[in-house]
Every structure is written in C-alpha cells, then in structure tokens.
Amino acid sequence: RIEVFVPEPKRVYGYYVFPVLEGERLIGRIDVKAFRDAGAMRVKAFWPEAGVKLTKARRAKLEGELDRLARFAGCARVEFLDGWEREALIRTRI
C-alpha cells in the first residue's frame, strides 16, 4: 500500500517511504524529508527488513548515499532525528 494515501494514525511507515536496496536486495525502508530552507535533509526513520542488521559498514554506505541524495535535493547536510533507527517490522501474509 502507498502510505501517502493512508490516514496518519493508520500508517505503518511515514508519509513518503523509500525502499533501501543493497544490490538487488531490499534491506530496509527509509522516511526522509528535505527542508531546503534550512539546508537539511532529515532522516525521520529507517526500518530494516527482517534479518537485516545495520552494521557499521552498511551504515557508512547508507550515510554516503544519503549525502548524495541530500546534494541532489539541494540540501547541504543530512540530519538524523532522535529515534531514527527502528526495529524490523514482521509482516504476515494472509
């Protein structure tokens, strides 16, 4: 489902959530927003997929790509909000 169309109290993730890929593997979902007037792209939340650990190396790669995304979006820096690292959500299939 697309979270932007879900009322806020019923959202699992944030308003705009993007997939985070490592090669072709989905490793997580991230909620970021550009605040161009403040020159910052803020990371609100990152949810790893089940079984994925945000290791030091993986985190460094993520930060590098977020820096690149921030520049593309016209922001000078990336800010990580308190509590941005979330637990993996276990989803069940019906």
Domain coordinates in residue numbering, the chain = 3-80
Architecture of domain 3-80: 3-Layer(aba) Sandwich (3.40)
Q: What is the pLDDT of residues 41-59, one digit of tens each?
A: 999 999 999 999 999 999 9
Q: How far apart are CA 43 and CA 31, in angstroms?
A: 6
What is the percent of the chain where pLDDT is above 90?
A: 73
Q: What is the pLDDT of residues 28-45, one digit of tens each?
A: 999 999 999 999 999 999
pTM comes to: 0.84
More confident site: 35 or 92: 35
